[in-house]
Structure 1
């Protein structure tokens, strides 16, 4: 038995808001208190002076794509490009750099271009990509990862594999729908095992450096996605991974078999009912404002959604769906109601221990929200979506108009209705950054749609554990008996919300009996993670532990 005492800090805990110390015994929090009572923790094997740092529960990122996010870290990240010309220059430079590497595989993988932010207001063409990369196969995903541009070399490879061109194919423009899925799978197949492993590890290490103690991987359901998920779950990474496989089940035996084949924990994640707003593939009940001929795409019918819910519930397997547009989100709401009626008492028994999930749920109306609340569904959402694309001049307004855009990502409405929330990044769609996500949830671009700091923080910590079906009251908190999943963040000034930006601040006086949180006011510098612990094990450290 090993006892480690952390002292001379500040602790985010409702058990004792004035606490400055805690003790960890074999990975579990065994004591919390003040400096005057540290001796009550018992004889320590190790004492760590926190020098005023704040200890909070570690974050859970409830929706990630580890390979894509890792490849953006280890390869070509186009999210910072601010024009088509700049994007093409970055691609050309990366291709030239790859040519200097001995033994480099042929695929050039890039992510993050966003034509809606460029002055040209158009994506790159196939010919422009060919000019930048030459004869190299290249896959370049849009920021939402629901469409991509590719080089002719990769296009020829795809067309050689299929009898006819899949839906969403274009010889000049970015590919979408089934065509994008095929292109993406082919591009993944060109990656080496070392590239995949390096990308996975780079991403998980970056998560640990942000105070994240677990991620929920949303894996594709095709063979490439399953292979990638198996490799990720077998990896000895710094933080745990919960695997969500995007595969439809039609009966309980199939649901259980899918988990056994891949090691996945659940069947959901990016099991897509529709696409994304940016790529105009999110399924809408009325056309896009900037493309009146389109209402997006539905990939699953109402009956397929119901069958999946029934099969998974009967098997005791957590189910979930990706749904963004109002047509898709409402379809999931209707299906939940029908499935619950078919299952009767079984639904209550099964779901009591592991709630089903809906990912994104950006355009949820009152009826859908009510259905989520009635059936105990967890809404896994991404606050940085609103920060990036919400607001009067944002992408959502340009695509949908202000009346449909304003109610999107209504965190307050969902929470008020009793829907449990879990926050994540959808990395690489938005960057991993839990404090920024919490800040975005508090300062929603639509008035009255944001959460309190406490509720937003809970959704990104305890909420992620609940979304994984862990119903232990203590997990995701700093309380006696809870696993020591902790983030230690830099010291800040103890002040009320202040006008001065540029310094990390804690906005709650410890005498207020409310657990401390950093000041989340816009413009205030958010805290830096100093160390991260998973079950008391140090997975990231800037020197706190020596």
Structure 2
């Protein structure tokens, strides 16, 4: 007999619409001890200690964001947001207004400018930033976070940046020079400020129905203290955090830090926004012949995967351009010879982003059982005629970008996320973006996209039983208002009625980790 004192009260949620493919007629569920103990119709519902009336709301598994940077996200939420500026003058005006409220010795931290959206895509220089900020040090990360604009004052404090790869006297820094100034700029953020930023980011994620995030840390992205502090608050009133530590040959260190994998942002290349993604043909709008930068060799990829196998850890790489992805797959082939194909596939190693693909590269993901951690918002922001992908690569190659539909159709495991703060935390927006890809060939159904943003994220961390409404499963779900209606257990995201467009869904409650906060 169960001791009543050790059992938490059972809660019945009834009168809803449940996203439950195994029982599509279900309108109620019972939660006991953090698990779903019963599913069915209201009429058959068992007795419970507490009853929550859903009032026709939709209940779905909560989301997983498979690629975030929590500290950066929290700082961006409270700092200088430059995602809306559309010219150098607007950027300087934003810096001036923000800096005026800071102490004279403060560092101005901003994020999100994207010159590809400007009529004249020329950012301001270091001296102009100095004047706008009143002589303060300024660090402004580009939307991709793979380059930044910095003031002359910050450059003066970072002499190593001047001799590093990627330095430019204009103050727009890439590659190693960017890493140097980034580290110096973020040294101004105290530990208390970082922890507050992390909690703000996770609380914001929970408010959007996100129950878990995959943090992609590593040298050059976040320091070890930042990483372990974040893991320490995982699931404590906020979403659960699954950490990836991206250090080459660092499987042992990843395990010591509490990471679930030695991967994430382990860079095989840079980013398209900064023209540092390694692509097979030259950029059309960059220096003649420039095709980005590959940071790893196939041998390094191979050895890292072998190292991961020795420690029983999942590995992975950041790879955006087709040339970088080709190098990664060559490394996978070498690792398969060392550890065996079955063992390699069982690890579910990951590639983050996988933006520029081909049929050959997609076949490699299938062969090696690679999880593609992708961000549908990239296509929404930069895909389509006249946008960044086409400007950088031309029409033909841009049509091959973010081929989520093709990958899904041949069985590549997908895990969707935001890469926040590169793009905002917005899971329903990501589902919509995958279903409305600029290339119709690459569109996914809403159901498939939703699965990639829920169950796909759990499977990517080897939690195969999560992300579903089923008997015995964790009660990790969210409750939503759906003004435009429900179709096959999911919201209608694009309403035909003009009065309902843009009102496809509203959150009514959140569930962080294994606890449901109830309907508000």
Quote the residue 2:17 is aligned against. 10
For 2:474, what is the secondary structure of its paired residue?
Answer: coil
Paired residues of 1:383 and 1:437 also in contact (CA < 8 A) = yes
* Correspondence for 1:263 among 258, 263, 266: 258
Q: Distance in 1 between matches of 2:482 and 2:269?
A: 43
For 2:493, what is the secondary structure of its paired residue?
Answer: coil
Paired residues of 2:378 and 2:423 also in contact (CA < 8 A) = yes
For 2:64, what is the secondary structure of its paired residue?
Answer: strand
1:116-154 Cα distance to aligned partner (Å, 9 max, x none) = 111221112101110111222221000110000112222
Are residues 444 and 372 of structure 1, via their aligned partners in 2, closer, same or farther at CA, if it must alter by over 3 Å?
A: same
Quote the residue 2:511 is aligned against. 533
Paired residues of 1:435 and 1:526 also in contact (CA < 8 A) = no
Q: Distance in 2 between matches of 1:64 and 1:183?
A: 21
Matches within 5 A, 1:103-502: 106-159=106-159, 162=160, 165-222=163-220, 224-235=222-233, 236=236, 238-249=238-249, 255-260=251-256, 262-291=257-286, 292-344=288-340, 347-349=341-343, 351-352=345-346, 354-472=347-465, 475-492=466-483
2:75 matches 1:71: yes
Q: Distance in 1 between matches of 2:22 and 2:254?
A: 42
Structure 2: unaligned runs, 5 residues or longer: 1-6
Please identify, of 440-449 and 181-190, the stretch whose mean Cα deviation from structure 2 is larger: 181-190
**TM-score for the superposition, normalised by structure 1:** 0.89
Paired residues of 1:24 and 1:536 also in contact (CA < 8 A) = no
* Shift of residue 368, structure 1, vs aligned partner: 1.4
Q: Distance in 1 between matches of 2:161 and 2:48?
A: 68
**TM-score for the superposition, normalised by structure 2:** 0.94
Number of aligned positions between the proteins:
506
Paired residues of 1:201 and 1:237 also in contact (CA < 8 A) = no
Are residues 528 and 223 of structure 1, via their aligned partners in 2, closer, same or farther at CA, if it must alter by over 3 Å?
A: closer
* Correspondence for 2:101 among 97, 103, 113: 97
Quote the residue 2:492 is aligned against. 518
Structure 1: unaligned runs, 5 residues or longer: 493-503, 509-513
Paired residues of 1:337 and 1:371 also in contact (CA < 8 A) = no
1:155-195 Cα distance to aligned partner (Å, 9 max, x none) = 12211xx3961100122131000111111111121111122
Paired residues of 1:219 and 1:243 also in contact (CA < 8 A) = yes
* Shift of residue 519, structure 1, vs aligned partner: 3.3
1:303-351 Cα distance to aligned partner (Å, 9 max, x none) = 111111111122211101011111011111222122112212xx52464
2:26 matches 1:19: yes
* Correspondence for 1:48 among 43, 52, 59: 52
Paired residues of 1:330 and 1:364 also in contact (CA < 8 A) = no
Paired residues of 2:161 and 2:180 also in contact (CA < 8 A) = no
Are residues 350 and 395 of structure 1, via their aligned partners in 2, closer, same or farther at CA, if it must alter by over 3 Å?
A: closer
Q: Distance in 2 between matches of 1:323 and 1:350?
A: 18
Quote the residue 1:496 is aligned against. none
1:36-92 Cα distance to aligned partner (Å, 9 max, x none) = 1113xxx31110011111000000000011111111101111101122211111111
Paired residues of 1:316 and 1:350 also in contact (CA < 8 A) = no
Q: Distance in 1 between matches of 2:333 and 2:451?
A: 27
* Shift of residue 521, structure 1, vs aligned partner: 5.8
Quote the residue 1:505 is aligned against. 485
2:36 matches 1:29: yes
